[in-house]
Every structure is written in structure tokens, then in C-alpha cells.
Amino acid sequence: MSTTEAPVPVANPRSSFFLRLPVVSHVRQSVGLQRGMLIMGLVLTAVFLLTALLAPFIAPYGFAQLSDGDGNFPAQQPPGGKHLLGTTVGGYDVLSRVMWGTQTALLVIIIAVVLSIFAGVILGLVSGYIGGWLDRILVVVADAIYAFPSLLLAIVMAIVISGGQSSLFGGVMAAAISITVVFIPQYFRVIRAETIRLKAEPFVESAKVVGASNLRIITRHIYRNATRTLPLIFTLNASEAILTLAALGFLGFGIEPSSASEWGFDLSKALADTTSGIWWTGVFPGLAIVWVVLGLTLVGESINDLNDPRLRGRKRANRKAPAASPAADAAPGPDTESSNP
């Protein structure tokens, strides 16, 4: 009697590509507490991104709005009523300021990290592949940049760019450029090390043999393999960018309320309120900073652990161990039965 074989399922290329995406693949690899930390970080980060994108639609008032149809907003009003999180000493709605502040934070992250990746990746590829005196000079310059405190550099940039005026452009660009200068050596070192390793691989030697140019080898063969760790560095540096922007605003080099909403500046203005028992003007901007930094840090640290082959192998072994125990306790197999008379 002939038997019909079941058709072999064909993998969907679109679904396989989706499963290979950095964050999706890390969620699939994670287990237990590690997965819980990663999912929590993703949820906190997603709420931050959605609030930044939807702030013009979900914020009850504008970031610099001081009145509505009923008249001027009362100063330092406790949470409740029309102002769910209260108002500041200047009459601004705290909830609206917190929501609009997500846009300023996201803008700084995008500008700072994109500029850092662009400059650091290019310098790392060129330095690692060409080597020689150019590599030595770039390594020395990268080491020297670590001697500059990022916050001090941000203050200097704020004065140089905006002339001491706390405008949206000056505050955002001062924080972004200072963070860019400090973060470039991190991307440079990672990409340079990967490039030095990859240029000795057989596929690069084969490309040289067939006559491929250096530019083609760098852009087509080394670039894709050397930039696999960028998502990890991006998440860790994004949280530091938020803290640098908040520190600028707290020290008085941030953004004026009439230009944009910035959490660090709101915290500095709330210092005088704490002695009077007015807690809501400083608690909610501070919680917003903790929320974003915690979410980005959880994602970055989880990806870092999952990228470690030793930790990943240990977790896979722990996952397979419970599955193997029932098989050991099962009924004896054919060999065991045949040995008994």
C-alpha cells in the first residue's frame, strides 16, 4: 500500500527576515528574567516614542500656553481638575510640559547618535582597513577625547553655538554636538577593531584577488559585518544623551520655556518650590527622565547580555535541561525490554 508523504513546509522569506531583526531576534533568544527585562525596556521605550510622536494631539495644552478660554492658568496649582499634574510657578501645565518634552529629548537623541554613528563608522572603517600612520593618529586623537568631560564640553558648546541664549536650536545643537564628539571614539574603536579582524578573512582576500577596489571592499564586504553591534551602542548612548541634555537644562544652559519644553530646565525651576511643599513641579519631569533612561538602559543591557556567546550558550543549556528530564524518566526503550527474559 502506497503512502503519501506530507508536503514540506516552505519558510516565508518575509517572516524569516522579520525574525532576524535585531530586537525581534533578541526577544526570541531571551528567556526568564532576561526576557522580562527586555520586554519591560521595550515597553517603556515604546511609550516614550509614541508620546513624542503624538504629543501635538494628546497634550492638553501647548508647551508655552498660559491661558485658555477661561482665562490665565493659576500658578502652582495642585494636581487635579483641568490640570491633572498641576501647574508650575510660571503658570505652565505640568502634564503638557512633560509630554512636549519627549519631542525635545527624541530630537537630541536622533541628532547626536546619528552624527556619532556617521563619523565614527567612517573613521573606524578607514583607520582599520588602511592602517599605518593614519591609524596611529586617529587612535591617539580618540584617546585624547576621553580626557574632556562631556558636560563641560556641552556647556562650552552651548555658549559658542547659541551665544548664551537658551533657544531650541542652541540647546539641542549644543547637547547634540557635545554628545557627538564624546561618542565618536566609542563607535570608532568598535568599528576599527572589527575592520582589522575582517580584513584578514578569506572573503576579503578573495575580493582583492579578483581585483576589487579598496572602496568596494570596505563598502560591500566589511561594512555590513562590522556594524552588527551598532544597535547595542545606540541604546546605551541614547540614555546618556538624555542625561546630558537634562544636566544642561538644570545648570541653566537648556531651553527657555517659550522656545520648547525641556525636563532639565523644568527641574531647575522647581528647586525653589520644594521648600514650600510644592512637589509636583519637580517630581513629574524627574520621573520622565528616569522613565526614558531606564527603558533605554534595560534594552541596551539585555542586548549586551544576549550578544555574549557565553551567556547565550548557558541559557540555551538551561532551556534544554528540563526538556531532557522527562525522557530519562520515561518507560524503558526496546533495547531494555529485549534484555529481560
Domain assignment present for residue 26? The answer is: no
At 329 the pLDDT is 47
pTM of the predicted model, to two decimals?
0.76
Domain assignment present for residue 325? The answer is: no
Domain assignment present for residue 288? The answer is: yes
Q: Comparing 13 with 187, which gets the higher pLDDT?
A: 187
Query: CA-CA distances (angstroms) from residue 86 to 66, 93, 213, 255?
Result: 13, 6, 63, 21
Phi and psi at 259, nearest 5°, equal: -95, -40
Domain assignment present for residue 255? The answer is: yes
**pLDDT 10s digits, 89-128:** 888 999 999 999 999 999 988 888 888 888 888 888 888 8
Binned at pLDDT 50, 70 and 90, residue 165 comes out as low
CA 158, CA 175: separation in Å to the nearest integer? 7
Indicate the number of domains in the chain.
Answer: 1
At 95 the pLDDT is 93
CATH of the domain at 295: 1.10.3720.10
What integer best gives the mean pLDDT of the chain? 78
Task: Give the residue among 144, 140, 172 at the shortest CA–CA distance from 158.
Answer: 172
Residue whose grid cell is 579582524:
197
pLDDT at residue 201 is higher than 50: yes
Domain assignment present for residue 322? The answer is: no
Binned at pLDDT 50, 70 and 90, residue 309 comes out as low
Query: CA-CA distances (angstroms) from residue 272 to 175, 268, 277?
Result: 25, 8, 10
Domain assignment present for residue 86? The answer is: no
Binned at pLDDT 50, 70 and 90, residue 175 comes out as confident
At 53 the pLDDT is 93
At 47 the pLDDT is 94
Contact 193, 181 (CB under 8 A): no
Domain assignment present for residue 77? The answer is: no
Domain assignment present for residue 135? The answer is: yes
CA 299, CA 40: separation in Å to the nearest integer? 8
Give percent above pLDDT 70 in the chain: 78
Least confident of 103-112, 130-139, 325-334: 325-334
Q: Name the residue range of residue 258's domain.
A: 38-53+94-308
